[in-house]
Amino acid sequence: MDWNDSPEQAAFRAEVRTLIEEKLPQRYQDRLGSWDRDRVDEDPEIRAAAQAWGDALSERGWFAPQWPKEYGGGGMTPMELFIFRQEMAEANAPHVGGQGTRQLGATLIVHGSEEQKKEHLPRILSGEVNWRQGYSEPGAGSDLASLQTRAVRDGDDYVINGQKIWTSGAHFADWLYALVRTDPEAPKHRGISFLLMDRHTPGIEVQPLVNMGWEHEFNETFFENVRVPAKNLVGEENRGWYVGATLLDFERSNIDGAVHARREIGELLDYVQTEEGQARSRLASSESLRHELAQNFIETDVQYNFSFRIISMQSAGQIPNYEASTAKLFASELRQRLARTGTKVFGLYSNIWDDKNEWAPLNAQFTRSYVGTVPATIAAGSSEIQRNIIATRGLGLPRG
């Protein structure tokens, strides 16, 4: 791996930084809000900030940076995308387009019909439509191919009945893409199809799931006799499992996570050097905590290098396999370790949950992170699944 930018990469990095410095709205510089929610907020100023940032990226073709240019994307190489994500994360600039740009659009480009591309890709690029995923079910999480939500062909429609769970952001989605079972007699991977559906179709009901941090991030979604036009089938019937596999993020390095972890440590170190931070921190009196934080700091570099390894492979035309599982496993567990360290640094002050409380260190950042990172080792493939992949595909061990 070459850790240094080539002259072309350095010039591209400077271009990204200039855009962020000149165009990033103050709301996002202040680390407020998220683009997905802001685009539909009731406050016109918040909506305007989301629109301005989306327009700034669209002017460069960076609204969907990984899409080919012929579809309105940025046509970035893997290394350019890595640099783009890194600089965005360094500035805490929000990504736009959500799952529409990062997942669904790329899948439609590969598997969608021309009619589907013409209907959906422009509306993703304009920010008009927000997409969310319907994969997991109460009995189909890590073993996703066991899903049972049923779609039966009836004339020009599919009629869908069943339930999805952990549908993140479905409450502010406009459309959903889902894996459904169209042939219950086929082997479980082969009887699955990939469908697109308007979330406001009669029979779709989204119920909130409030997490342990009292936040409404995900939902359970019910389908009762939902009629979806057959033209919304992506790819072939009963071959949706392979369409869904394409939907995995084309850029899998997770450089964002490495940058965010390093920034969290930097914020903590800056804070404990202030008068207020010194009064609330245990670092000065605890050598073991200082060693623990130093270990976390070193681990952010390890995570960065896992990310760089993956992008180097992609730049060389290789497909990361167990390498991506290694990076995901390490990153999600580091998030939890860092959150635990932060709460220990502030001791009893970490019992303060309210981020507006004047006694909350760093606006209760680590207290909230401690709770918020609990599902990190479950979401996007549990740590157990990742270890199985590393063992069998990376180390060549037999399946147990």
The contacts found for 343-351 with CB under 8 angstroms, 24 or more apart, are: 343/367, 343/370, 344/282, 344/289, 344/292, 345/268, 345/272, 345/281, 345/282, 345/283, 345/289, 345/293, 346/280, 346/281, 346/282, 347/280, 347/282, 349/280
The answer to whether 391 and 397 are in contact (CB under 8 A) is yes
- Burial class, 214, CB count within 10 angstroms (exposed 0-12 / middle 13-18 / buried 19+): exposed
22 has catalytic annotation: no
Whole-angstrom distance, CA of residue 26 vs CA of residue 20: 11
Phi (first) and psi of residue 82, to 5 degrees? -60, -45
Q: Which of 137, 140, 139 is nearest to 166 (CA)?
A: 137
The three-state secondary structure class of 234 is strand
Tell which phi-psi region holds residue 181, choosing left (phi > 0), alpha (psi between -120 and 50) or beta: beta
Cβ-defined contacts of 91-94 (< 8 Å, 24+): 91/17, 91/20, 91/24, 91/29, 92/28, 92/29, 92/31, 92/263, 93/20, 93/24, 93/28, 93/53, 94/28, 94/33, 94/34, 94/35, 94/53
Of 80, 137, 220, 251, which residue is the catalytic one? 251
Residues annotated as catalytic (active site), given as ranges: 251
